[in-house]
Amino acid sequence: MTIPHSTLRLQFHKGFTFDDAAAQVDYFAALGISHVYASPVTTATSGSTHGYDTVDYTCVNAELGGEDALRRLVDRLRAHGMGLIVDLVPNHMGVGGSENEWWMDILEWGRDAAHAGFFDVDWHSPDPVLCGKVLAPFLGAGYGEELEGGKIKLAYRPDEGRFVVKYYAHAFPVCPVDYPSILRETPWLTDGFVGLSTRPDDQRRAAEARAVLVIRAGSEGGRARIEAALAAHSAGSQDGLERLHRLLERQHFRLAWWRTAADEVNWRRFFDVSTLGGVRVERPEVFEASHALIFRLFTEGLIDGVRIDHVDGLAEPREYCRRLRSRLEGLRKGRPSALRHSSGGTYFVVEKILARGEPLRGDWQVDGTTGYDFMNDVGALLHDAQGAEPLARAWGALSGRSATFAEEALIARRKILSENLTAEHDRVARKLHCIARDALATRDFTFSAVRRVVGELVVQFPVYRMYPVDSVRSAEDERYFSQALAGARAALSPADHFVLDQVAQWLGGSPDAAERSHRPTARRQALAQAQACFSQLTSPVAAKAVEDTACYRYGRLLSRNEVGADPGEFSLSIDEFHRANIERAKSFPNAMLATATHDHKRGEDVRARLAALSEIPDEWADALNDWSALNSALRRQGDNGEWAPGPGPEAMLYQILVGCWPPGLSPDDEAGVKELAERVAQWQLKALRESKLRTSWFAPDENYEKACQDFLFDIISPLRHRGFLRKLHAFVKRIVAAGAINSFQQTVLRLTSPGVPDLYQGTELWDFSLVDPDNRLPVDFDLRRTWLSSVEAKGPPSVQLSNWHDGKVKLAVIRRALALRRQVAPLFAEGEYMPLTVEGENAERVIAFARRLGGTCAVTIATRLALPLLSRDSDTPLVNAARWGNTSVILPAALGPLTFSDWLSESAVKAEGLRLVVGDVLRTMPVALLLAEKESSP
């Protein structure tokens, strides 16, 4: 089987290898998973905890066990009838150390390197110091300071016959052209290097000369000459320092302080991360080289599908996806016969952030996204729309910041563009300025004017990017570009409007823009490059500004500040949720459905609990004001008159404590509270730096950060048991049951909605994790295995509800729902999605839908917005049956008379005509998963 029934995401690293996963395959199978969904398996930077910093696409990561261990894992999976999906990172590679041979090649040989075209380098920088060079912004301080301090050193590798410039763990290769100047007056060591150029033939000569150098330099005299040469290039003397500096100036790289990257980097990065270099996978030779291993593993039957990371970073996502689909489908013929004829095509999904109403393009030929859009839908569904305005007012009053997320996001976009991605902004402007200079009508456009209008279009762009075809924006692109254009026109001076309109045409607005040139072919290429460059700027600006800045500044309700979500969109109605499911079933029925990922900022159950605050906005506002006054004496006063942590960060801190307080944790448990505080402190540091207000990764204010941490530990110290801690714990108890009901709701909706449910490692129990690294901690699979056996033996999930704090009931729900998906697989893969009407006094507090295929029908019913129906003195996540009153789910007449068995409880439910009474259906569990059978004729 190629198309999964369900997936389990695993994060591999040297502490959790393929063999470790293989030992758990029987547990994954027992849980009901059809495919393991692996983080990248290609070789990453040594010690990588995530695998997204690939340094070698050609071999399986040895730290994960290498290819042999991967084969053992696949053998175990196949023995249980399971498959493997792998994550692939085509957009960027790790370039921060010296492990990436492709990157080392271009540092050594420059634009003539065999791999010069593999990376997105601007070899024609307007800065003469960088022209023909690669900026290497890896120094911890200024170049002069590090050089004079002796931290930059010339070194020789005797086993390679190679000179390198060492800087701590970094090693930058010296071009062999310069070996004779290093080994002056030693022709017997350098005769093979004399007269070399950087041409390919000379690069081969250099390799031969190195082999000779290894032998000759290994002699006693050779070693002495090497040592003398190194000493002559040592910063220990003024002559040595100047000699080393001159040598560095002749190299194809320019060593620089890491802070220069934002303004001067001349190669595309992943977002603003200067240790990740953009790969030109749009070039056929790069595509083949970077995918060769994946293609071989697929052909040999070791993998069954791919997940593409950050597809929006690519120059041409549509063309890339279509090419990859074609290659994989073509390779299916070479797979083992047992896998060759599996159902459906090769499974292929992309990581894509979609705005509300933005469709995944149908012509990409993918199976869908990795599920951020579903996570956004189901997350918004948990929120009460009536809480939006009062919570926004409370946040604005308490924090002193804007109550509107869009305003916060626009400020953040400007900041990211002007401070973090200046070099990338300049690069787009230069490409468009060159186009302007190429035509008489626009030759007087200045670089500054072009840069201004490009910047305004970028900050106003409402989605990640556009996807022109043949250099022309589609109707869907135009929908979003026009919004950016209108916003830019309003923000810019009228003097810039003519330039703005022309730039808009160059960015895909006119199909004949190239034909009006005297060099149409060159013009078309220039336009396509400018459009790709523009799109490769709007996407990182959106990601860094919204997800990594504004989401840490805006705190109306942190449950909506999530990857793939718009915090300005507070809630989603039941009808809107149904429409999204219907559209997914129609267009991408095999898309992933996620509620937790390796990138989430708050665990799925943290978000579910915080969503309950939307039902009691006034109570929450009162609690915030009360706690703020109670803890005011513990604030730290700064020299500038500002106090730490500040009103906004303090209010966010209270949300986090409420959201991630573990079920069952007592405020008297000093060890448990301390452990919680240490986890929250990690989140707090990251949140403060990501917000970029009073501290940042770029310029950390350690005094402020320490004051914030001290405040955190003070407010939840044992001395506060009768003060803040008691009030915090009491408030958590107020919403904990509603939060658990929300968790059940999003779990069962994920497991039964159209698509492929994805389970993130460990989240089959309660997931009160925070942002990484907290959400990537080791998972106790042995505990889960033991508990799975226990819950299976004790019957349906309803049996576990009374002890819900331990998480076994969530595990049981997942196990039972996945078992049903396997039992009636065609129903969930192909079945019609039918929204069900709910009537009665609490109709708005129930969501229900059916999946139907032929004579088989499953009905999902879930409690929502439950807080007003719950007793204040009970923390059991279940609405008393009597509180439902006459609330009923109405079945369509087409279903006929049905008898239902509930897979989540022991009850059998019979419809009263075409009516399911909610009080009966949800008597023992807050959610129900009913399998229906047609009643036989008497």
Residue 72: pLDDT above 80?
yes
pLDDT at 42: 98
CATH of domain 780-934: 2.60.40.1180
Distance of CA 139 to the CA centre of its chain: 27
Assign 3-class secondary structure to 473-530: CCHHHHHHHHHHHHHHHHHCCHHHHHHHHHHHHHHHHCCCCCCCCCCHHHHHHHHHHH
Binned at pLDDT 50, 70 and 90, residue 343 comes out as low
Distance of CA 784 to the CA centre of its chain: 26
Assign 3-class secondary structure to 119-134: ECECCCCCCCCCCCCE
pLDDT at 936: 44
Six-digit token pair at 298? Answer: 């697929």
What is the pTM for the complete model shown?
A: 0.95
Residue 658: pLDDT above 60?
yes
SS3 308: strand
> How far is the CA of 554 from the CAs of 410, 613, 904, in angstroms?
12, 16, 38
CATH topology of domain 101-270: Maltooligosyl trehalose synthase, domain 2 (3.30.1590)
Peptide bond before residue 718 is cis, with ω within 30 degrees of 0: no
Residue 377: pLDDT above 80?
yes
Binned at pLDDT 50, 70 and 90, residue 516 comes out as low
Peptide bond before residue 773 is cis, with ω within 30 degrees of 0: yes
Average pLDDT, the chain: 95
> How far is the CA of 532 from the CAs of 314, 315, 512, in angstroms?
8, 5, 18
**Measured torsion, CA atoms of residues 467, 356, 649, 683, in degrees rounded to the nearest 10:** -70
Residue 550: pLDDT above 70?
yes
Ordered by start, the domain boundaries in the chain are 7-91+281-370, 101-270, 376-387+562-734, 402-552, 780-934
Q: Across-strand partners of 136?
A: 255
SS3 of the chain: helix, strand, coil, percent, to 5: 50, 15, 35
pLDDT at 509: 92
pLDDT at 899: 80
pLDDT at 938: 34
Residue type, 230: L
- In total, the chain counts a number of residues equal to 938
CATH topology of domain 376-387+562-734: Arc Repressor Mutant, subunit A (1.10.10)
Q: What is the DSSP string of 558-620?
A: GGG--TT--TT-----HHHHHHHHHHHHHH-TT-EE-S--TT-SB-HHHHHHHHGGGG-HHHH
| Residue range 800-842, pLDDT digits in tens | 999 999 999 999 999 999 999 999 999 999 999 999 999 999 9
CATH topology of domain 7-91+281-370: TIM Barrel (3.20.20)
Phi and psi based region of residue 264 (left: phi greater than 0; alpha: psi -120 to 50; beta: remaining): alpha
Burial class (CB within 10 angstroms; exposed 0-12, middle 13-18, buried 19+) of 438: middle
- How many percent of the chain have pLDDT more than 70? 97
SS3 32: coil
Binned at pLDDT 50, 70 and 90, residue 791 comes out as confident
| Helix or strand holding residue 933 (H, E) | strand 927-934
Binned at pLDDT 50, 70 and 90, residue 937 comes out as very low
Report, as an integer, the average pLDDT of 337-365.
86
| Residue range 159-178, pLDDT digits in tens | 999 999 999 989 999 999 99
Q: Indicate the range of 229-233, 490-494, 658-662, 908-912 predicted with least confidence.
A: 908-912
Residue 344: pLDDT above 80?
no
Residue 340: pLDDT above 80?
no
SS3 776: helix
Residue 879: pLDDT above 60?
yes
